[in-house]
């Protein structure tokens, strides 16, 4: 009799554990359905330092408040080749980014107050929470798809200019 009661108790406990784990799995799936779309808020030109010639022109989304700078490109499933996110900070200082909740690999470009590239963090890995610091103080940070910095031949000393889209 005791063995039967013990066996029934074990079955009930395992059943509860099984069903509670199924609920947790459903919760995770609903989080993955979050879709964040690119919203063009400006245009950015990347220019060679020596000649001031335009290397590339890309559409940018701008992060210039606390929420957008903290969120950045998190939860995005894609970023088109000629799209990027420009972070604009109120001051110049050493910066550090990480890839928490970021699903796409990125090149992170640190830019000073004169809009000159001061350092890179290339091929940042999705979901990696390792600190990716600038090598010099920066006011701006540009995120683009991983590998594009090399493909476009960007170097420390190259410059940016940007315009915002009027609403």
Phi/psi of residue 109, each to 5°? -115, 120
Rg (CA), the chain: 23
d(CA 26, CA 45): 43
Do 68 and 27 have their domain in common?
no
Do 23 and 98 have their domain in common?
no
Q: What is the pTM of this model?
A: 0.80
Tell me the mean pLDDT in the region 49-75. 95
Do 28 and 105 have their domain in common?
no
CB of 137 closer than 8 Å to CB of 110: no
Residue 14 has pLDDT above 70, yes or no: no
Residue with the larger pLDDT of the pair 152 and 26: 152
d(CA 14, CA 16): 5
Do 47 and 14 have their domain in common?
no
pLDDT band at 47 (very low <50, low <70, confident <90, very high): very high
Do 13 and 78 have their domain in common?
no
pLDDT band at 35 (very low <50, low <70, confident <90, very high): confident
Residue 24 has pLDDT above 70, yes or no: no
Domain with 55 in it: what CATH number?
2.60.120.1140
Do 15 and 96 have their domain in common?
no
Count of structural domains within the chain: 2
Residue 111 has pLDDT above 70, yes or no: yes
CB atoms < 10 A from the CB of 46, how many?
A: 24
Domain carrying residue 21? 1-33
Where does residue 48 rank: exposed (0-12), middle (13-18), buried (19+ CB within 10 A)? middle
Tens digits of per-residue pLDDT, 88-110?
Answer: 999 999 999 999 999 999 999 99
Do 23 and 84 have their domain in common?
no
What integer pLDDT is reported at residue 58 of this predicted model? 98
Percent residues over pLDDT 70 in the chain: 78
What integer pLDDT is reported at residue 124 of this predicted model? 98
What integer pLDDT is reported at residue 10 of this predicted model? 61
Do 28 and 55 have their domain in common?
no
Do 73 and 116 have their domain in common?
yes
What integer pLDDT is reported at residue 15 of this predicted model? 55
Do 99 and 141 have their domain in common?
yes
Do 12 and 64 have their domain in common?
no
pLDDT band at 43 (very low <50, low <70, confident <90, very high): very high
Do 7 and 88 have their domain in common?
no
């Amino acid at each position: 009799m005791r063995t039967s009661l013990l066996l029934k108790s074990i079955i009930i406990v395992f059943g509860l554990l099984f069903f509670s784990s199924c609920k947790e799995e459903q919760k995770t799936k609903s989080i993955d359905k979050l879709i964040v779309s690119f919203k063009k808020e400006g245009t950015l030109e990347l220019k060679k330092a020596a000649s001031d010639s335009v290397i590339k022109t890309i559409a940018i989304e701008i992060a210039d408040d606390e929420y957008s700078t903290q969120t950045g490109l998190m939860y995005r499933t894609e970023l088109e080749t000629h799209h990027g996110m420009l972070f604009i900070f109120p001051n110049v200082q050493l910066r550090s980014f990480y890839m928490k909740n970021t699903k796409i690999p990125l090149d992170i470009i640190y830019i000073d107050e004169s809009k000159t590239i001061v350092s890179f963090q290339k091929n940042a890995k999705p979901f990696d929470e390792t600190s990716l610091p600038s090598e010099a103080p920066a006011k701006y940070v540009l995120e683009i798809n991983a590998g594009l910095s090399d493909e476009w031949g960007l170097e420390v000393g190259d410059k940016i200019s940007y315009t915002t889209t009027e609403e």
